[in-house]
């Protein structure tokens, strides 16, 4: 049982840290950060397009820090709908989530996105290594599969001083 628990925790860590999209290779942009991060989320649902995010009970959460040259540039909190994509929990966390959705017949059709300026929370400041909050860009995205169901909701906090 101990080995099964360790394997489960390793998978959870991998989902929280390494979940990534088809982004291609960009010089200086690290694909992952070798650290364990808690799932951080402040409710920022004030934007009209994204007033409703997926219910926690029907979704798989994932957190990712995007770094460039070892400096945290973005903190992304994502939720994947288990109603729209029930097998997403079994996907390879080191692979492309969008590619795996497409292989399962759930290719993305469109997304809604909103951008706003906001102040980071104390826990988000800690991820970025800041002593005091400074205005950041918050990008909220809802991605839908061809059948129309929302499969992904992402809130990405991007620093503006890098």
pLDDT in tens, 27-65: 444 444 333 334 444 444 444 333 345 444 578 888 888
Question: With a cut of 50, which residues of the chain have pLDDT below it?
Answer: 1-52, 54-56
pLDDT, residue 111, reads 94
Is residue 60 within 8 Å of residue 82, measured between CB atoms? yes
Angle at 22 between CA 65 and CA 72, to 5 degrees: 15
7-12 CB contacts, 8 Å cutoff, 24+ apart: 11/93
Question: What CATH number does the domain containing 77 carry?
Answer: 3.40.1410.10
Q: Name residue, tokens 């980071």.
A: 120
Residues in contact with 63: Cβ distance below 8 Å, sequence separation at least 6, in sequence order: 16, 17, 37, 38, 39, 40, 75, 76, 77, 78
Structure token digits, residue 26:
């960009």
Number of independent structural domains in the chain = 1
Sign of CA dihedral 104, 98, 47, 147: negative
* % of the chain at pLDDT higher than 90: 31
pLDDT, residue 5, reads 43
- For residue 135, what are the β-bridge partners? none
Question: Domain range spanning residue 90?
Answer: 2-158
pLDDT, residue 93, reads 75
């Amino acid at each position: 049982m101990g080995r099964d628990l360790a394997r489960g925790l390793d998978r959870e860590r991998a989902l929280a840290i390494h979940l990534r999209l088809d982004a291609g290779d960009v010089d200086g942009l690290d694909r992952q950060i070798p650290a364990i991060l808690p799932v951080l989320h402040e409710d920022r649902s004030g934007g009209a397009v994204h007033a409703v995010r997926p219910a926690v009970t029907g979704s798989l959460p994932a957190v990712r820090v995007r770094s460039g040259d070892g400096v945290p540039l973005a903190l992304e909190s994502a939720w994947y709908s288990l109603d729209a994509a029930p097998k997403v929990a079994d996907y390879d966390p080191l692979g492309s989530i969008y590619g795996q959705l497409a292989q399962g017949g759930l290719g993305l059709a469109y997304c809604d996105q909103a951008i706003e300026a906001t102040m980071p929370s104390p826990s988000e400041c800690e991820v970025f290594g800041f002593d005091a909050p400074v205005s950041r860009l918050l990008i909220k995205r809802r991605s839908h599969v061809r059948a129309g169901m929302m499969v992904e909701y992402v809130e990405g906090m991007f620093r503006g001083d890098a």
